[in-house]
Structure 1
Amino acid sequence: MEYLGEHLLPGKIGQFFAVVSFVASLVATIAFFVASKRQSITSEHKSWLQLARWAFFAETVSVFIIFGTLYYIISHHLFEYKYAWQHSDKSLQVEYLLSCFWEGQEGSFMLWSFWHCILGWMLIWKAKDWEAGTMTVVSFAQFCLASMLIGLYFFSAKLGSSPFSLLRNEGILDNAPIMQDTVTGGIRADYLTLMKDGRGLNTLLQNYWMVIHPPVLFLGFASTTIPFAFAFAGLLKKDHTWIKPALPWASFSAGILGLGIMMGAAWAYESLSFGGYWAWDPVENASLVPWLVMISGLHCNLIYKHTAYSLRSTYFFYISAFILILYSTFLTRSGILGDTSVHAFTDLGMNTQLLLFLLVFVIPAYTLYIVRYKSIPTIAKEESTYSREFWMFIGSLVFFLSGILIIAKTSVPVYNKLFNASIAPSEDPEFAYNRIQVFVAIVIGLLTAITQYLKYKDTPKGFFTKKILVPTALSLLISLAISCFGNINYDKHGIGFLGAVHVAIFSAVYSIVANFSYIIIGVKGKLKFAAASVAHVGFGLVLLGILISSSKKTVLSWNTTGVATFKKDKKEDPAENITLFKGIVTDMGKYHVTYVQDTFNTKERKRFFEVKFQSKSSNEQFALYPDLIKNNKDMEGFAANPASKHYWYKDIFVYISSFQENNKADTTTFQNKEIGLGDTTFYSNGFLVLHKVDKNPVELQNKYTSDEQAVFLDIEVFSKEGKRYKATPGFALKGTALRSITDTVISQSMVIALNRVPTDGKGKFEIGVKESAGITDLITLKVYEFPMINLLWIGVIITVLGFGMAVYQRVKAR
């Protein structure tokens, strides 16, 4: 059957090159492997190597064409393709079209494969004698990734999921009666004319961080393949000289993966409404743990380079870092974390293939490591406790054990699935991690401070004491000042945890001061020898920023209005969310805040709210513009995007937790009540008291004209929360024309009208009381203060700079 309006050529091109990529990567793997088994001086080695390079070239071209073809499909809104329909729509801004790639599993695998191609050519250019061995691993990893995108059936088993599959072939339209042809029973030939738009991109991904964060993160994922490839090739050849060429690759991997993780933290800070940059989400953890293990491998690599110790550990950590990347891929794409993570992928039915992807590397790598273990050179002599390598190894071990503890907690859903268990997550997941990791921070901070002052192999005690004394004393003074005058009173989890926080602050300060001193004194300001110290200064700043901003994180939005728009649950407490009525100045602790106005941006589908802050202690005032973005077609409502006011020493962080707008007809009716002077009458949230009656009051002249006779009631409203409000309903008479003048108590969502006055002047007045949620616009805000959070972001930049310096110097040295 011919379907009208379909553009089939792009899909055929994309699918063809997906198959070419699959075949070419397999050919490259075989050819590189055979070349690695031949002597490099033989013609046979050169011919196999030539074949392998051409196959990898075909693989690279195929990946680039696949990438370009899918972008064409998405950008031209070809909704006959499932991927375009599922992840985009016509209203999506151009800058977010790339984000459509990362939302789907197929696109993320494609991005990973793209970076493998780039890194592979760098290996071909630079690896020299290690080219064949390392490229065998890279090409095989490419083969596995290509299998995820091929989407072909082999007998009854489907291999991968193609991003070029047609929507009508995926069973999605079968459940839509409007798409059915009543004659044939199949899909209508003109079904595309009924498809006005796509389902749309997840609102959380419509942020500039999600255009740049995933490519950097996946470059980090792909880069862990290279140290693993060197280690695996070394085990195959029983040749351990790979250590030196692998070192700059490991530094690059650690730096870029760490940057990608923290860019994700920045995205969470700006886009997610859990109020922070890190929540120990399983997807966050799955990226962090490989980085911790890569850092362990990098330090063991340095130890071996300088002392010939820790070669076995270097092998183990490099292998494990890559394996943990594959494990995190399984965790985040199998759907197993769907109930515990806010941004895990959904299950595409490839769990068996994902598991095979993991096992096909796990089993050979660890088996070969165990078989070759005894042949890996080691030094029987114990390291001196006054040597740099001893404490570097201890630090590597602490990082590794920290990663194991994190991944064990993260893997609870896997354990429950495998063993049909029902281990419940902790009621306070953040503290469950923090109570352990705070001690990791203490140990690592101390080690990064003192290790630089130790020499390899052995250090004279007097020399070490003399060098470390001044940084230690200075660090103690600074940390004591922070602890004593910084108002760090985080007693939420008891005095013991608070004490650990203060010790960790000293440890972080010690890391900063000691390493900065080492740059000035130890290497006399020569930056080419200071890469490690620069990275350690940055890491110390990261620790200090985390400790201060987290322990001094303060809720500013305590509810002073007594109006709650939602019930308490695990995520939100109405007592920590202040309700603002449009145009009404509201007391919020340090500030007076006013909900000024809101506007809807049709292009971005965002509703922006202008919230004015006026400091009580100064003349400072500023406006913030948190927004709500309309969810995509499958979800109703809005998702919140925070806004922040940045100072050098703090951030004011605000997001909308709920909102109500007066955009519907008010169908609520007035309830008539009789009330006399001094009498009380009740409403749903309190009671009203009539104090007096005023005729033509001067203070209300703006409500009636000079030729009218006016009568107003002086009513006081008492809410259950103890708040008092004044209301002055009335009417104005001109001749025989009577005009009602109602009054609104906005914070109680109540309108009061004067219906009748007693004819003898002594009886009861009749008032009308209407309570309606539709009489005013209101929003509920959550506002935090994050002190010294810029230390964290500055620390990230300096840390990555340190890794970059290390890469440059090591490449230059080689």
Structure 2
Amino acid sequence: MNFIGENLLPGQIGYFLITLAFTGSIVAAIAFFKSNAEKDALLKNSWFNIAKWSYLAASVSIVGIILCLLYILFNHLFEYEYAWKHSDRSLQMEYILSSLWEGQEGSFLLWAFWHAVLGLVIIFNKNRWAAGVAGVISIAQVVIMSMVLGIYFGDFQIGHNPFILIRNSGMLDAAPIFFDPKTGALRADYLSMIQDGNGLNATLQNYWMTIHPPMLFLGFAACIVPYAYALTGLINKDHSWTRPVLPWASFAAMSLGVGIMMGAAWAYESLNFGGYWAWDPVENASLVPWLILISGLHTNLIYVHAKYSLKSTYLFYILSFIFIIYSTYLTRSGVLGDTSVHSFTGNDMNWQLLTFIFAFLLPGIYFLIKRWKEIPTISKEENMYSREFWMFIGSLILFISGLIIIGKTSMPVFNKIFKTNIAQPEDVLFSYNQVQIFIALLIGILTAITQYFKYKNTPRGYFVKKIMLPTIISVVASLLISIFGNINYTQHGAGFLMAIHLALFASIYAVVANIGYIFIVLKGKIKISGASVAHIGFGMILLGVLLSSSKKEILSINTTFKVFEKTKDEDPAENITLFKGVPTDMGKYMVTYLNDSINERDRKMYFHIHLETKDGKEEFDLYPYVLKNNKGSEGFGATPNSKHYWHSDIYAYVSAFQLATADTASFRNVEVAVGDTTFYSNGMLVLNNVAVNQPADNIPKLSDNQMSMTLDMTVISKTGNKYPIKPGVVVNNGNEIVQISDTAASQGLVVKFNKVSNTQSGKLEIGIKESNTLSDFLTLKVIRFPFVGVLWLGIIVMAIGFVLSMFQRASRRSNI
């Protein structure tokens, strides 16, 4: 049957390129390993050339696959399952780009793209390690491309084809409208009934999602290079790879670290869990390989300078990439399920993901064990006054930190394998923080002092002389912050508060001591101070995390009208209720929900929130927004907005909202006299006075033949807040009475003046109605993060340090 409107060519080209990339990678892997093993120079070069051009063909094919998929997405070809699942016609161009890597297949292609780029750099800057390293990368390409093959052997499936047509995916089977009722066959014009795609998850429709995944996957891809150098060294029984790998290890550490922190920035600006880090399993799974990679980078430096720690370097580089693959398993297998806010599942690739892990774990461990006794070591005990001793201690602490984090994160995997039901701790954040704060304390101090030691041995007097001034400055600075900084985080007791103060000292010490090292020891030579600059950035990150977390302040404490019940994610006590147009007291600020609007381009509903200090010296506007979720969960995805100061951020997001609807509540009539009090569910009303022909905001200007009677009343809530209201009546010529009600919107209260009940007693009848549909309202969570800018600046500084180190090492051509 010919189906009307289908565009099959891009899918056919794309799938041909998938098979070409898969087979090209197999040929390249075989040829590279043959070249690496060959002793004859001519044959070695011949095999290398075969491998090089095969790898190039596979790499060009991967680029072509991505272009075909982008063509399908940008042209809304919903005959393809991938386009229908991950995009729709309303998406802006940058978010269509993001939809490429929302799905598993697209993210694997992004990973393969970066492998291709890095492999080509290694191949065309050929050195004696290129064949072995590129061979390992080619094996990874074979495995990754198998994830998008989509071939079947009976019921056994290998990968999932991103170019599969929606009519072949089984997705239309549940909808009878796509089938001819007489024949039961799929209608030839089925595409005419698919008006739009399923769209992109609301939380991913943020500009960070166009840059965070590419950088993170660059980091993932870069981590294979140190692994490949280490495995090639074990296979070749040659340990001189430790020098040429250094710029690659620095690049991997920089790209993965920046990718992780871009994710933190995305969480801070897009997710509404109130911060940049939540020890979420997906965050942890990316952090652990970085920690182990940093451990390997430091032990690598130890071996280059002092010939210690080569076995540790092998182990750390191997495990860093293994945990990269494991993080992929955690993210894509669905094993995290309910424990992660941003893991995703899709096609069942669990067996392939596990194969990916063991395809690199087993050779690495096998050759490491086989060559263990042959790996050179120095039996001499390390000197405690040497740089290598303390660098190794720091590397070991980072490694242990990573093991603790991955152990806790992997509890769902443990439960699944061993059929246990070990629950997450009640306070997940604190369960990590209570351990990691002491890790931060130790690493901060080691980051500060280690560079002041020399390799092999350091005269005690030299060390004390150089470190003295930075130590004094750090002690004074940290004491001033501890005494005058109002750091009184007592939520977890005095012991944890003391740990915070000690960690603050350690982070300040790391910054000050490394600045001192650049000027005291290196004499200001920035080009050779990459490590110190990276350490300064790391210290700033620790400092920013500690200050912004320990001094985090909830500004939106609700003291008036609570609309929504407490859930596991939101506490109404930390969310202030705002009615449109009603200024509301929020401690230091008066906050007003002015209006809302929908941006036609991005379909986001923006809320205009005005904040003004009570002294009138400062005012600003925030524009948090919500976007309707079309997948993953119902309702709306809320995105925060922040006001940035040099010393803090005011961070706000809409946790819930309700637009005015038809009011079905009825009035309750009561009698009151001047001075009387009557009650409503959240407080009381007092009749202060009755005014005749007195002007009021809600009473129109009277003509000569009209009169008015207005009740001056005060609404007093249970919390003591007062709201003046003035219900009244206007009597027209001919005794026609017009009732004019008044509202206390924030209390959901409407009051009207019905009549004079008894002229002798002065009793008046009023009507009282309580309703939650009187006005548009929302609940807003507002948080102040002090000195969070130190964290973001620290990331930039650390990245600069890695880049300086990378170029410093790469410039030594004789070592590569």
Contact 2:441 2:506 in 1 (8 A): yes
Task: Provide closer, same or farther for how the CA distance between residues 739 and 174 of structure 1 changes in structure 2, counting only shifts above 3 A.
Answer: same
Q: 1:619, CA displacement in angstroms? A: 1.1
Task: Provide closer, same or farther for how the CA distance between residues 635 and 761 of structure 1 changes in structure 2, counting only shifts above 3 A.
Answer: farther
Q: 1:659 is matched with which residue?
A: 657
Cα deviation code 1:552-577 (max 9, x no counterpart): 011111113x2112111222111111
CA distance in 1, matches of 2:481, 2:125: 48
One of 592, 595, 598 as aligned partner of 2:590: 592
Q: 1:763, CA displacement in angstroms? A: 6.5
Q: When the two structures are superposed, what TM-score results if normalisation uses the length of structure 2?
A: 0.97
Give the counterpart letter for 1:470 in structure 2.
L
Q: 1:730 is matched with which residue?
A: 728
Cα deviation code 1:403-460 (max 9, x no counterpart): 0000000000000001111111111111111111111111111111111110100011
CA distance in 2, matches of 1:634, 1:550: 30
Task: Provide closer, same or farther for how the CA distance between residues 286 and 634 of structure 1 changes in structure 2, counting only shifts above 3 A.
Answer: closer
Cα deviation code 1:115-172 (max 9, x no counterpart): 0000001111224111111111000000000000111112331100111111122221
Q: 1:328 is matched with which residue?
A: 327
Give the counterpart letter for 1:671 in structure 2.
R
CA distance in 2, matches of 1:313, 1:785: 43
Matched, 1:703 2:700: yes
Give the counterpart letter for 2:321 in structure 1.
F
CA distance in 2, matches of 1:701, 1:163: 63
Secondary structure, counterpart of 1:525 in structure 2:
coil
One of 691, 694, 704 as aligned partner of 1:694: 691
Q: 1:715 is matched with which residue?
A: 713
Larger mean CA deviation between 420-429 and 152-161 belongs to: 152-161
CA distance in 2, matches of 1:219, 1:599: 38
Secondary structure, counterpart of 1:342 in structure 2:
coil
Secondary structure, counterpart of 1:757 in structure 2:
strand
Larger mean CA deviation between 53-62 and 715-724 belongs to: 715-724
- Match runs of 1:236-385 below 5 Å: 236-385=235-384
CA distance in 1, matches of 2:532, 2:310: 23
CA distance in 2, matches of 1:22, 1:440: 43
Q: 1:650 is matched with which residue?
A: 648
Q: 1:641 is matched with which residue?
A: 639
Q: 1:35 is matched with which residue?
A: 35
CA distance in 1, matches of 2:543, 2:687: 59
Q: 2:564 is matched with which residue?
A: 566
* Number of aligned residues: 811
Matched, 1:16 2:13: no
Contact 1:304 1:311 in 2 (8 A): yes
CA distance in 2, matches of 1:5, 1:761: 84
Q: 1:757, CA displacement in angstroms? A: 2.2
CA distance in 1, matches of 2:86, 2:575: 33
CA distance in 1, matches of 2:46, 2:96: 42
Contact 2:104 2:346 in 1 (8 A): no
- Match runs of 1:381-780 below 5 Å: 381-560=380-559, 562-617=560-615, 619-632=617-630, 635-662=633-660, 664-698=661-695, 702-707=699-704, 708-736=706-734, 737-758=736-757, 760=759, 762=761, 764-780=763-779
Stretches of structure 1 that go unaligned for 5 or more consecutive residues are none
Q: 1:618, CA displacement in angstroms? A: 5.1
Contact 1:127 1:245 in 2 (8 A): no
Cα deviation code 1:436-488 (max 9, x no counterpart): 11111111111111111101000111111111111111110111111111111
Give the counterpart letter for 1:241 in structure 2.
S
CA distance in 1, matches of 2:331, 2:759: 78
Contact 2:674 2:762 in 1 (8 A): no
Q: 2:213 is matched with which residue?
A: 214
CA distance in 2, matches of 1:225, 1:718: 67
Give the counterpart letter for 1:331 in structure 2.
L
Task: Provide closer, same or farther for how the CA distance between residues 773 and 121 of structure 1 changes in structure 2, counting only shifts above 3 A.
Answer: same
Contact 1:199 1:634 in 2 (8 A): no
Stretches of structure 2 that go unaligned for 5 or more consecutive residues are none
Larger mean CA deviation between 688-697 and 778-787 belongs to: 688-697
CA distance in 1, matches of 2:696, 2:178: 66
% identical aligned pairs: 55
Q: 1:176 is matched with which residue?
A: 175
CA distance in 2, matches of 1:783, 1:342: 21
Q: 1:617, CA displacement in angstroms? A: 4.1
Larger mean CA deviation between 522-531 and 311-320 belongs to: 522-531
CA distance in 2, matches of 1:763, 1:647: 57
Secondary structure, counterpart of 1:645 in structure 2:
strand
Q: 1:698, CA displacement in angstroms? A: 4.2
CA distance in 2, matches of 1:620, 1:529: 45
Secondary structure, counterpart of 2:265 in structure 1:
helix
Task: Provide closer, same or farther for how the CA distance between residues 186 and 556 of structure 1 changes in structure 2, counting only shifts above 3 A.
Answer: same
Q: 1:363, CA displacement in angstroms? A: 1.2
Q: 1:672, CA displacement in angstroms? A: 3.4
Contact 1:578 1:781 in 2 (8 A): yes
Cα deviation code 1:749-796 (max 9, x no counterpart): 121122222374547433222222221111111111111111111111
CA distance in 2, matches of 1:701, 1:585: 18
Secondary structure, counterpart of 1:758 in structure 2:
strand
Cα deviation code 1:699-720 (max 9, x no counterpart): 5695341321111223333434
Q: 1:20, CA displacement in angstroms? A: 1.0
CA distance in 1, matches of 2:486, 2:633: 43
Contact 1:243 1:305 in 2 (8 A): yes
Contact 1:174 1:187 in 2 (8 A): no
CA distance in 1, matches of 2:128, 2:403: 35
CA distance in 2, matches of 1:598, 1:748: 21
- Match runs of 1:157-168 below 5 Å: 157-168=156-167
Secondary structure, counterpart of 2:412 in structure 1:
helix
Task: Provide closer, same or farther for how the CA distance between residues 473 and 283 of structure 1 changes in structure 2, counting only shifts above 3 A.
Answer: same
CA distance in 2, matches of 1:513, 1:305: 27
Contact 1:704 1:732 in 2 (8 A): no
CA distance in 1, matches of 2:269, 2:258: 16
Give the counterpart letter for 1:683 in structure 2.
Y
Contact 1:387 1:457 in 2 (8 A): yes
Secondary structure, counterpart of 1:487 in structure 2:
coil
Q: When the two structures are superposed, what TM-score results if normalisation uses the length of structure 1?
A: 0.97
Cα deviation code 1:239-274 (max 9, x no counterpart): 111111111100100011000000110000000111
Give the counterpart letter for 1:592 in structure 2.
M
Contact 2:598 2:604 in 1 (8 A): yes
Give the counterpart letter for 2:598 in structure 1.
F
Secondary structure, counterpart of 1:703 in structure 2:
coil
Task: Provide closer, same or farther for how the CA distance between residues 721 and 184 of structure 1 changes in structure 2, counting only shifts above 3 A.
Answer: farther
CA distance in 1, matches of 2:718, 2:473: 55
Contact 2:500 2:546 in 1 (8 A): yes
Secondary structure, counterpart of 1:639 in structure 2:
strand
Q: 1:689, CA displacement in angstroms? A: 3.7
CA distance in 2, matches of 1:110, 1:712: 72
Secondary structure, counterpart of 2:128 in structure 1:
helix
CA distance in 2, matches of 1:282, 1:2: 47
Q: 1:690, CA displacement in angstroms? A: 3.4
CA distance in 1, matches of 2:325, 2:632: 31
Larger mean CA deviation between 713-722 and 512-521 belongs to: 713-722
Give the counterpart letter for 1:229 in structure 2.
A
CA distance in 2, matches of 1:294, 1:447: 17
Cα deviation code 1:65-123 (max 9, x no counterpart): 10000000000001111111111110001111111012111111000000000000111
CA distance in 1, matches of 2:91, 2:347: 24
CA distance in 2, matches of 1:683, 1:523: 74
Larger mean CA deviation between 376-385 and 600-609 belongs to: 600-609
